[in-house]
């Protein structure tokens, strides 16, 4: 099976065999068309494809490929009670919440570091309560880089300088300090609101999270493939062939 997590910035292709990740590929969403997708998924017409997409025109591309295609939310429903406006919630947020609920039944807070940073909340019963959306690390870096008037783009990296003396160091330090302080404060606030203890783990996913993890001050479980794992769980539950 090939699981495809279609985001606003990147398409993540993951090959799954016997519940294990075999290999992964990525494709920029802006370059994703029928030909590019077909080149990546290959010619094995018997291999089913499971797609979780928040980009409507990419969803249509997958529907028009002559393969066994299963669209999460349409062909395979997510068994999760949702109190968010379903017309507006990204299907990836529901899949991530379902995966967190299944893998870590006590989890109540899920943070996804994607194009945007999303906070999602589950009730004690595991129902999806909703959440909020913040600017993502990568998108913030791109905006600041475009305004910095530097000859080349700024690469996200750890800054060793406490008080930076140049623009690259200033932006890297600012992102690391700003996002970590914001996230630590938000988690502390919502743990208090939800009456969670300091030991209750927050589930974190998304590649950009690795830049912030060393500065996290709360208990967490990092699952870089949370949405993919949720798709695999759903595939097993509904057994697409």
| 146-158 core/surface letters (b: 16 or more CB in 10 A; e: else) | eeeeeeeebebee
Q: Does 92 qualify as catalytic in the annotation? A: yes
* Residue 172 neighbours by CB under 8 Å, 6+ apart: 154, 156, 157, 158, 159, 164
Measured CA to CA, the distance from residue 7 to residue 206 in angstroms comes to 11
Helices 137-147/167-193 angle, 10° precision: 150
Name the active-site residue from 44, 75, 92, 127: 92
Distance of CA 76 to the CA centre of its chain: 19
Active site residues: 92
């Amino acid at each position: 099976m090939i699981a495809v997590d279609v985001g606003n910035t990147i398409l993540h292709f993951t090959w799954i065999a016997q519940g294990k990740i075999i290999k992964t590929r990525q494709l920029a969403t802006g370059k994703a068309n029928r030909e590019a997708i077909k080149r990546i998924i290959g010619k094995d017409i018997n291999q089913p494809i499971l797609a979780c997409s928040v980009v409507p025109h990419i969803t249509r591309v997958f529907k028009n490929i002559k393969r066994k295609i299963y669209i999460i939310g349409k062909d395979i429903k997510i068994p999760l009670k949702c109190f968010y406006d379903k017309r507006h919630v990204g299907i990836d947020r529901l899949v991530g919440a379902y995966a967190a609920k299944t893998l870590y039944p006590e989890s109540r807070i899920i943070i996804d570091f994607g194009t945007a940073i999303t906070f999602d909340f589950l009730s004690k019963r595991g129902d999806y309560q909703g959440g909020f959306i913040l600017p993502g690390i990568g998108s913030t870096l791109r905006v600041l880089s475009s305004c910095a008037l530097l000859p080349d783009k700024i690469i996200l990296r750890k800054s060793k300088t406490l008080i930076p003396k140049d623009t690259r160091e200033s932006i890297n330090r600012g992102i690391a300090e700003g996002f970590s302080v914001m996230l630590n404060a938000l988690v502390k606030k919502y743990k208090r609101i939800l009456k969670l203890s300091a030991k209750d783990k927050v589930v974190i996913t998304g590649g950009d999270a690795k830049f912030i993890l060393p500065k996290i001050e709360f208990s967490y479980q990092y699952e870089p493939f949370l949405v993919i794992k949720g798709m695999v769980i759903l595939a097993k539950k509904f057994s697409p062939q």
